[in-house]
Structure 1
């Protein structure tokens, strides 16, 4: 997996690419997110539009990220998962706990409204 982070409009954007599976890069990303949460970042949007494959460990990463933000009174949203990833979220019933946005502006709007 590859990822990039960007902080824009009080929202941490994480843009993931390739396959969302556990590994050293995933652990590095989790550490970076922990630092952001420790610095009172409350809102996160994860762009999944470039994720081709996700296994159970990848689903665990998403749930773990969601939990980190919600435990601090924040929120997380997924941006534009592919049809394959959407089907996985439905089959695992994770679609019931994640909010899905179609682009950055909808993600930002939802996140801002969720804490005010």
Structure 2
């Protein structure tokens, strides 16, 4: 078994879109709660479109899925959207098994995600 990899994230706003880069093991702990608080802060200032780059996520448990659902819910409740970008094959499989692929919008890469959000914003 691999040792735990701490969850970390980075964010920036570009052209009115919050770009989240998530990395490590998303386990729904205190560190991952910080990404929810960050999203709420951006939503309160009017940034309601977001991309979550998942290419750095190594492991995700049910609590980690709850974090992603929490992000999606916050953005959609504000009239916006969250796209999951570059999820691993394992994460895509998990989304299919849990039937969450019908709820989340997935994009294979950043340019595709940005294009999809431009369409949503227009």
Pick the TM interval, shorter chain.
Answer: over 0.9
In structure 1, stretches of 5+ residues that fail to align are none
Number of equivalent positions: 116
Q: 16, 23, 27: which is aligned to 2:22?
A: 16
Give the TM-score normalised by structure 2: 0.91
Which ranges of 4 or more aligned residues in structure 1 deviate by more than 6 Å? none
Mapped partners of 1:7, 1:16: distance in 2: 15
Deviations 1:61-90 (A, max 9, x none): 111111111111101100010111111000
In structure 2, stretches of 5+ residues that fail to align are 1-6
Other-structure match for 2:3:
none
Other-structure match for 1:66:
72
Q: CA RMSD in A?
A: 0.9
Deviations 1:17-56 (A, max 9, x none): 1111111211111111110000010100000111111101
Other-structure match for 1:49:
55
Higher relative contact order (CA 8 A, sep 6+): 1
Q: 75, 85, 91: which is aligned to 1:79?
A: 85
